[in-house]
């Protein structure tokens, strides 16, 4: 089962925690992922997004790209994954996105969420985050902001 999970998510966790292992403003949580052709096909099936830029190499190249593009919404799925892996039971409340540059299949992408503010609300915590993705050259490809309702501020080590 672990092998299947590793293959499906294909990520490595790189996190910076506060000394008390409680989330605070300025803390960053990161994960990397490489999107495969199988990921793109599965995403197309479940989302009904059959854009040939995401499935046909010749079409993508004829449109001026160097290869097949990973759908931006699939790339942005890193953000709720990062938050939920550290805060099981978190409710993802909102997300803004700015698609800066194309992401290509088989390119390693680093997703990062940084806590910017946290407030307590009815025994839970509303956390705002800046969200960013970088390609393997360290260039920003996607950014935005997210808000999540966390059941606790205690960081859980992400599961591989």
pLDDT in tens, 8-43: 445 444 445 444 488 999 999 999 999 999 999 999
Contacts of 24 (CB under 8 A, 6+ apart): 18, 115, 118, 153
Please state, rounded to an integer, the average pLDDT across all residues of the chain: 87
For the cut 60, the answer to whether the pLDDT of residue 91 exceeds it is yes
Domains and CATH numbers, the chain: 2-35+72-150 (3.10.129.10)
Can you tell me the mean pLDDT for 88-103? 96
pTM as predicted = 0.83
- Alpha carbon distance 149, 19 (integer Å): 22
Give the tens place of pLDDT for each residue, 37-60.
Answer: 999 999 999 999 999 999 999 999
* Sign for the pseudo-dihedral over CA of 54, 60, 64, 66: positive
């Amino acid at each position: 089962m672990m092998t299947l999970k590793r293959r499906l998510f294909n990520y490595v966790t790189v996190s910076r925690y506060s000394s008390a292992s409680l989330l605070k403003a300025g803390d960053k949580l990161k994960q990397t992922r490489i999107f495969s052709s199988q990921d793109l096909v599965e995403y197309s099936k479940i989302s009904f997004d059959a854009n040939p830029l995401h499935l046909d190499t010749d079409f993508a190249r004829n449109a001026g790209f160097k290869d097949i593009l990973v759908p931006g919404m699939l790339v942005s799925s890193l953000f709720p994954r990062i938050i939920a892996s550290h805060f099981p039971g978190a409710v993802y409340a909102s997300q803004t996105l700015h698609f800066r540059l194309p992401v290509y299949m088989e390119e390693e992408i680093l997703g990062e969420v940084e806590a910017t503010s946290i407030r307590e609300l009815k025994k839970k915590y509303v956390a705002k985050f800046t969200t960013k993705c970088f390609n393997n050259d360290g260039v920003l490809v996607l950014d935005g902001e997210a808000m999540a309702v966390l059941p606790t501020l205690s960081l859980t080590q992400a599961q591989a």
